Chains A and B, each alone.
Chain A
Amino acid sequence: MSEVSRRDFIKGTTVIVGGIITAVIGIPAVAYLIDPALKENKSEGWIPIGKLGDMPVGTPTPFSFTIVQVNGWERTSTSHGGYVLRKSEDPNDLLILNSRCTHLGCTVNWDNADKVYLCPCHNAKFSEQGLVLDGPPPRPLDRYQEYRVTEDGILEIYYQA
């Protein structure tokens, strides 16, 4: 075995110790910076929107709910809304529309006289089924496909961000 000189030993240990210190600080530092990009911040779950018994058959009933998103140390709440249309007495025969206009995101309102959804922003019209009748929207109103009625008769929809 060849002798390691004092100078080479000091050089070697300096490089090794320095490398360890750099790695111990450097790797966590990078992880710390990019951490928010690696996180999935999806919110989803069942949201109760009202008693099914209170909703008349044949006429859309409005509902609304609020989703609270936590971004770091700040909470942002966003409002969502829609209409439930009971097509028959069958509690599962429902059409649940999102009242966000598919054009630019304004909130549409049910006009009971003309039997259409009206968007106040660009006079778009949607049918009772949510299909585009008039105006600029590129596609029908979005639907909440997944819903259920609890034992207490509460209608719940499945929300996914």
Chain B
Amino acid sequence: MWKKLFDWLDERLGLNTLYTNLLDRPEPLGNWWNTLGSASLFLFVLQGITGIFLTVYYTPSPDHAYDSIQFIMQGVAFGWLIRGIHHWGASLMVIIVFIHMLRVFVTASYKYPREMTWFIGVGLLLATIGMGFTGYLLPWNQRAYWATTVGTQIAGSVPIIGDFILKALRGGPDLSALTLQRFFAAHIWMLPAVLVGLIGVHLYLIIKHGESNYPSKED
């Protein structure tokens, strides 16, 4: 019965081919350091899910942002858990993505034909840090406020166009409701869209080229 149903679906969706091509690929001899890309992907999905759930109660307005998070932490069942996972997962994701990059560097996995995988990986690291930067403001507490004041000020120290960058980041000369709103938009729409797109290409390239062998003594 199940076999018949599966065969019917497989014939139309090509599930078996999908499985052999995507998941059942030959792997070079590796170790736990080779699992960090998958760990990054898992953390991205986890951040996505917990983030979506947080938007059910969070309000990106200076009047309510702080209170809505207090409500999530104290007034909603498991709110502390959902926000806790998102909070700690964010730090963990930056660390894991960074170590993943170090491993690729140390094992020289960025070389031909995987240069583009590396470049896209750099974009993924930057987007991840961007998620950290924009997400840090959203609790709208003193730490968030001043961290973003300093962070945008640093971006504003660029010669000639610095003032423009500062205003573009803050949505005006001051840190305001506009800043909170655009950081929220960047955090939940723009950067995730960039991340999803880049992750798609990154994964495609890994499946296309396979994973690299560790360099031997001759290399």
Check A25/B64 contact, CB under 8 A, given A31-B77, A32-B78, A73-B71. Answer: no
A72 touches B78 (CB 8 A): no
A73 to B46, CA, bound (A): 26
Query: Is A16 at the interface (CB under 8 A from chain B)?
Result: no
A-B contacts, CB under 8 A, total: 42
Q: Does A33 contact B (CB under 8 A)?
A: yes
Contact indicator A32/B76 (Cβ below 8 Å)? yes
Q: Collect the chain A residues with CB atoms within 8 Å of residue B56's CB.
A: 32-33
- Residue interface bits B36-58, CB-to-A below 8 A is 1, else 0: 00000000001001100100110
CB of A67 within 8 A of chain B? no
The B63-93 residues at the A interface (CB cut-off 8 A) are 64, 67-68, 70-71, 75-79, 81-82, 85
Which residues of A are found within 8 Å of B71, using beta-carbon distances? 72-73
B59 located at the interface, meaning its Cβ lies under 8 Å from any Cβ of chain A in the complex: yes
Would B77 and A73 count as touching, CB distance under 8 A? no
A115 to chain B, nearest CB (A): 48
Interface residues on B, range: 20 to 34
Asked if A28 and B78 sit within 8 Å, CB to CB, the answer is: yes
A29 engages B59 (CB within 8 Å):
no
Point out the residue from A31, A38, A73, A74 that lies within 8 Å of B78, measured CB to CB: A31
- Interface residues on chain A, size class: 10 to 19
Residue of B nearest to A36 (CB): B76
A35 interface residue per 8 A CB criterion: yes
Chain B residues whose C-beta falls within 8 Å of the C-beta of A72 in the assembled complex: 57, 68, 71, 75
Which chain A positions have C-beta within 8 A of B75?
72
Query: Is there an interface contact between B64 and A28, defined as CB atoms closer than 8 Å?
Result: no
Provide the residues of chain A in CB contact with B70, threshold 8 Å.
73
Are A32 and B79 closer than 8 Å at their CB atoms?
Answer: yes
Q: Which positions 34-55 of chain A face chain B at CB distance < 8 Å?
A: 35-36, 38
Binding site for A on B (CB under 8 A): 46, 49-50, 53, 56-57, 59, 64, 67-68, 70-71, 75-79, 81-82, 85
